Amino acid sequence: MTPQGVSTVPLETMDRRSVFHPATSIADHLAKGPRIIVDGSGVMLTDSEGRRYLDAVAGLWCVNIGYGRPEVADAMAEAARRLGYYHTFSSFSNEPQIRLADRILSLAPAGMSKVFFGNSGSDANDTQIKLVWYYNNLRGKPQKKKIIGRLLGYHGTTVATASASGLPSFHRLFDLPIPNFLHASTPHHYRHGAPGQTEEQYATVLADELDALIRREGPDTVGAFIAEPIMGGGGVLVPPRTYWDKVQAVLRRHDVLMIVDEVICGFGRLGRMFGSDVYGIQPDLMTCAKGLTSAYFPLSAALISDKVWSVLRDGSPEAGAFAHGYTYSGHPVGAAAALANLDVLVGEDMVGNADRTGAYLQARLHETIGPLPLVGHVRGVGLAAGVEVVADRITRRSFEPERKVAQRIAARCLENGLIVRALPVGGVLAISPPLCITRAEVDQVVEGLARGIRDVADELAREGA
Ligand SMILES: Cc1ncc(COP(=O)(O)O)c(C=O)c1O
């Protein structure tokens, strides 16, 4: 220890000694140690050894306005100096959360009525699931509680949201999913569409399957369907054309609520403010986080439609106080961060940039990455893109997961100063840069990724794969 009480143990050592990292192999971490990020600006990050990286993933699809915006830091500092915290239970409120709720509703799809604040995408989705149960209890439909997610969907890591998710590694060893969480098929035309089947035909098959699932379970037992407009963590899966219209028709037929998880798509990622705007989704419940503050502060928002709200309001005298909420719900510093973030996002037309520069990214990926060895499929919308690697481009055969080909490509890119993300399943590399990215930076991303793919293809050829 120094006289000030600051340990002189190197941070790398201290990290290995003291930090339990999320979504990290414990064995690998103990062997290799951390990579410590010290600052960021725009799309660039710098680590403690002075290495620079172009972050083509915006952290975890979340730093929508880019790193280092002083406007957000200043707004947070000012809010913290004025009122570092006060809770919002029992009708207490604060100016930033009031203004933020109003602002979010002004941006949201039609029909949204109220905003319930939390701290993460997981807790907001958890709130939504509890709201489905609460709503159906108040409506006198106590059996209508099952939640349908989708295979490869991702909604968070709490017990309920990991159960609603359809990613095997989030279930295995955790005794999940819990009962009453079901999973519909993944909308993945490239992988699961029948030969010669159009996207529209495939969408009809998926909607019919969902209809059959609900009928089999009994419509009176199914409370909600939860889904991302385009799936992020499951593989950047763009739904087949007409999917959302057909799925929503099924849900309406069976009085099943639609929870739209906008945690990744929301706040501009797809070139519109919300994924729901892209696909004409009319949510009953809508979940936001990530881009709401561009991750400068942990903040989430569960949006509630008029339809659900009116039941909650009418049932309130009998139900008593709504017994759900978080110590940090409506945190004034987080709400101030979100307001400043939205000023930048809207004021600098970053949603428009996501549309225009996103189209450029998609075109460049198709033209430069599409033809490369190992690349089976390139897909995406706006500034969300996925590149699926395959062992055989003709048969679309995947690599065995143990070969970790996508992970090797991501690691190679990282060595070269480019961060792309290998998703947990499906051999997919995800690209989701900050929405302030320029065309020149997109060129760097595409060229860096091409280099990583070529290098790993050469390595695999040398290994005889
Ligand atoms: C679509 C979606 N929903 C929910 C979550 C969970 O959010 P959080 O990690 O903030 O709990 C994520 C996180 O990546 C996500 O991608």
pLDDT averaged over consecutive 10-residue blocks of the chain (465 residues)? 74 96 96 97 98 98 98 98 98 98 98 98 98 98 98 98 97 97 98 97 98 98 98 98 98 98 98 98 98 98 98 98 98 98 98 98 98 98 98 95 96 98 95 98 98 97 84
From residue 428, alpha-carbon distances to 408, 420, 421, 434 in Å are 11, 10, 8, 19
Q: pLDDT value at position 338?
A: 98
Taking the alpha carbons at both ends of the chain, their separation in whole angstroms is: 52
| Ligand 1 atom with the shortest distance to the CA of 122 | 11
> Is 292 near ligand 1, meaning CB less than 6 Å away?
no
Task: Report CA(159)–ligand 1 centroid distance (Å).
Answer: 13
**Amino acid identity for residue 42 in this structure:** G
> Is 156 near ligand 1, meaning CB less than 6 Å away?
yes
Ligand 1 pocket test target in 62, 154, 276 with most atoms within 8 Å of CB: 154
* Strand (E) or helix (H) holding 258: strand 257-261
Contact 262, 276 (CB under 8 A): yes
> Is 154 near ligand 1, meaning CB less than 6 Å away?
yes
Ligand 1 pocket test target in 128, 167, 264, 281 with most atoms within 8 Å of CB: 264
Residue 432: Cβ within 10 Å count? 28
- Write the burial class of residue 414 (CB in 10 Å: 0-12 exposed, 13-18 middle, 19+ buried): middle
Instruction: Give the three-class secondary structure for 250.
Output: helix
Contact 302, 324 (CB under 8 A): no
Task: Report CA(263)–ligand 1 centroid distance (Å).
Answer: 6
Q: pLDDT value at position 123?
A: 98
Instruction: Give the three-class secondary structure for 22.
Output: coil
| Ligand 1 atom with the shortest distance to the CA of 119 | 10
> Is 170 near ligand 1, meaning CB less than 6 Å away?
no
Task: Report CA(154)–ligand 1 centroid distance (Å).
Answer: 7
> Is 297 near ligand 1, meaning CB less than 6 Å away?
no
Task: Report CA(233)–ligand 1 centroid distance (Å).
Answer: 9
Q: At what angle do helices 199-217 and 243-253 cross, to 10 degrees?
A: 20
- 396 phi-psi bin (left φ>0, alpha ψ -120 to 50, beta other): left
> Is 264 near ligand 1, meaning CB less than 6 Å away?
yes
Task: Report CA(124)–ligand 1 centroid distance (Å).
Answer: 9
For residue 288, the 8-state DSSP code is E
Give the pairing of strands 146-150 and 375-381. Answer: unpaired
Q: Tokens for 317, please give them.
A: 């005298």
What does the alpha-carbon distance between residue 410 and residue 233 come to, in Å, rounded to a whole number? 15
| Ligand 1 atom with the shortest distance to the CA of 231 | 1
Q: Tokens for 93, please give them.
A: 């409120």
Task: Report CA(294)–ligand 1 centroid distance (Å).
Answer: 13
What does the alpha-carbon distance between residue 267 and residue 293 come to, in Å, rounded to a whole number? 9
The model's pTM: 0.97
Task: Report CA(289)–ligand 1 centroid distance (Å).
Answer: 8
Q: Tokens for 176, please give them.
A: 């999940």
| Ligand 1 atom with the shortest distance to the CA of 61 | 14
Residue 63: Cβ within 10 Å count? 29
Q: Who contacts 215 (Cβ-Cβ below 8 Å, separation ≥6)? A: 254
Give the pairing of strands 418-419 and 52-55. Answer: parallel
Q: Report the chain's C-alpha Rg in angstroms.
A: 22
What does the alpha-carbon distance between residue 177 and residue 319 come to, in Å, rounded to a whole number? 29
Contact 214, 148 (CB under 8 A): yes
Contact 131, 304 (CB under 8 A): yes
Task: Report CA(26)–ligand 1 centroid distance (Å).
Answer: 22
Q: Tokens for 18, please give them.
A: 């003291």
Contact 139, 217 (CB under 8 A): no
What does the alpha-carbon distance between residue 285 and residue 309 come to, in Å, rounded to a whole number? 10
Q: Tokens for 213, please give them.
A: 């699932």
Residue nearest ligand 1's atom 8 by CA: 121
> Is 126 near ligand 1, meaning CB less than 6 Å away?
no
What does the alpha-carbon distance between residue 296 and residue 71 come to, in Å, rounded to a whole number? 11
> Is 122 near ligand 1, meaning CB less than 6 Å away?
yes
Q: pLDDT value at position 1?
A: 53
Q: pLDDT value at position 3?
A: 58
